[in-house]
A and B are shown apart, each in its own frame.
Chain A
Amino acid sequence: MSLSFKPARWAALFLAPILALSACGSGTADGATTCNGLPDQPTLSFAAYSTPREAYGKIISAFKSKWKDEHNDQEVIFQESYDGSTLQASRVVSGYEADVVALSLGPDVDQIADAGLITHDWTTEADGGMVTTSVVVFDVRPGNPLGIKDWNDLTNSGVEVLTPDPASSGGARWNLVSAWGSALRGYGGVAKDDEAGATTLMQGVLGNVLAYDSSARKSIQNFEDGNGDVAITYENEVLTAQAAGKEDEAVYPPSSVLIENPVTVVDKNVDKHCVREVAEAFVEFLHGDEAKQIFADAGYRSTDLATAQKGGGDFPAIEDLWDVDEFGGWDGLTEKLFGDAGIVTQAQAG
């Protein structure tokens, strides 16, 4: 038997994929790609927070037909994912090549921008980059058996509260910022500007938390499964649940933060995938009348502040509606509440 090259065959078997891996992808990842217009069937990767999937389902269908009509029957493929806002932002930073992100709050978009993936100033877009607004509500059992009216009712002994985890869910941070801000504005049984009182209120609420789910949707579903007495959530989540035939009932605290949800194009990814034209058209569509109507029907308030406060139809008027700028914007609030020495962080550590 002659000297065989079989061992070489085995080695080649292993080296082949490794060599292939090295050879393929001729450095287009970081370098600028030259795009010759859109691909024939553009694919848009869409990352959103956990609650608006029903709304975006309809909006995306509407956009696809509009694009088809205006662009020679061209079919746009959407690949959507929905999860906690901060989780999604982390994933995009870690390599999830989303072309358009629709997140719960500005700081999560900033996280992506800070990683160099968004190179334009998204806050200068229409409506400040926001597409929807909402308010914080308490989701209670039918008939509100515990008579919950305001934040201090959540601190009562024996009340089991559900709220998502601020580390992964944008909704969670809106909830807790609303609690804090309302207290400082003199609601929830706390005197105006009484920081100590507000801190006590926060600790009381957090002390009653039964579970911190990783997204707003998971939190409300936990509530619907029969766990907990009250879930702190978005108004639009309760309306969506009711539309799905669930028994959720919303109680509106008199004071609430104005929840504003941003959408923007992720520059690095759209340029890499050569879908910038479609992505920007989609974002523009979201600010248009058709999308606004779909959002409104799905339970989201208008980006116009006056309209948001006044409400109308399914949307009750909010007595005291304020935004994060009242307290120095997200930077100060994040540090105060969610920083290492933050009030929420400390309370969670129990």
Chain B
Amino acid sequence: MSGAAQTVSGRSTARWAPHRTAAVLRHLGLRGAALVYLGAMVAVPVAAIVTSGFGDGFTSFRTALAIPYAWTAIKLTLITSAAATVINAVMGTLIAWILVRYRFPGRRVLSSMVDLPMAIPTLVTGLMILTLYGPNAPIGKFLDRFGIQVAFTWVGILLALCVVTLPLVVRQVQPVLLELDPAEEEAAATLGAGAWLSFRKVVLPAVRPAIVGGALLTFARCIGEFGSVVLVSGNIAGKTLTAPVFIYQLANQFRAAEAAAIATLMFTISFVLVLVTARVTRRVEV
């Protein structure tokens, strides 16, 4: 054991000490381990996708998009994801609000229920939706009388996306609401502001970054969703075929380059979003 004091980085004040070398080696060992782990498990697969998709320039990309329903699939994915994001941004904030601000029996249960999509397999979610909203199912048959079909239409896709991403905005907004000082809202109330005005001017600005962060996460999650959509949508090319299912079909047929081109497009979109979210939400956690 060295008599010299050490800083946490292991730098010794002595001119040469074995522990300095040891510390440096250990640092490099750990860092090397992390690099090999992330390199092998994440970087290599992603590199494989990108090089396959764009290895020969934009050829694979163009071939993939030339398939008649490719663009439709991408557009359908983006539109339904955007819609689900908006819906869950609003409903998520609302749910977070009543979970934080209200007292009622079963509040804990509701809170846990909201988190259920985080734990339950997406395929099971899809099956659950079919058992209720499918063509021969209770609510499905009921809605059919009004001409509304849920299963095997974009409505089903939207529903599946909303269910699967339900907790995302809630979990971003809830902690922020918890930390909000009610004093400001009380002040606004005493000054005569109604509940809605108070919400808009006092609460909303504070939770907006959380909502935006949650919304971005939701969107990124939606455009990659497979398990629930593949069961509920019917995967009809040009009508209800989404990008992830399309990539699945291409991959299954070993049309890897085309699948990779589409996949790269989709994950670039979500990766940018996830990065932005990380920045936004980190700012929120004070």
Contact = CB atoms under 8 A, between A and B. Distances in A.
A and B touch in the complex (CB under 8 A): yes
B110 interface: no
A1 B2 contact: yes
Interface stretch (B28-36, B47-55, B76-84, B186-194): B28-36
Contacts of B152: 225-227
Contact of A211 (B26, B29, B236, B253): B236
Interface stretch (B14-22, B87-95, B217-225, B267-275): B14-22
Interface in A2-27: 2-4, 6-11, 13-14
Nearest to A348: B68
A8 B68 CA distance: 55
Contact of A2 (B18, B37, B237, B255): B18
B234 A225 contact: yes
Interface string A322-350: 00000000000000000000000000111
A86 B252 CA distance: 10
Given A214-B253, A349-B66, A6 B26 contact: yes
Given A87-B252, A214-B252, A222-B234, A4 B26 contact: yes
B129 to A, nearest CB: 14
Contacts of A8: 29
A164 to B, nearest CB: 12
B25 A211 contact: no
B19 A1 contact: yes
A174 B29 CA distance: 59
A124 interface: no
A210 interface: yes
A222 B151 CA distance: 12
A7 B249 contact: no
A212 B235 CA distance: 9
Interface of B: 1-2, 18-19, 21-22, 25-26, 28-30, 32-33, 36-37, 66-68, 135, 151-152, 234-237, 239, 241, 249, 252-255
14 contacts: A1-B1, A7-B25, A13-B33, A14-B33, A14-B37, A86-B253, A90-B254, A168-B253, A210-B236, A213-B235, A214-B253, A222-B234, A225-B234, A349-B66
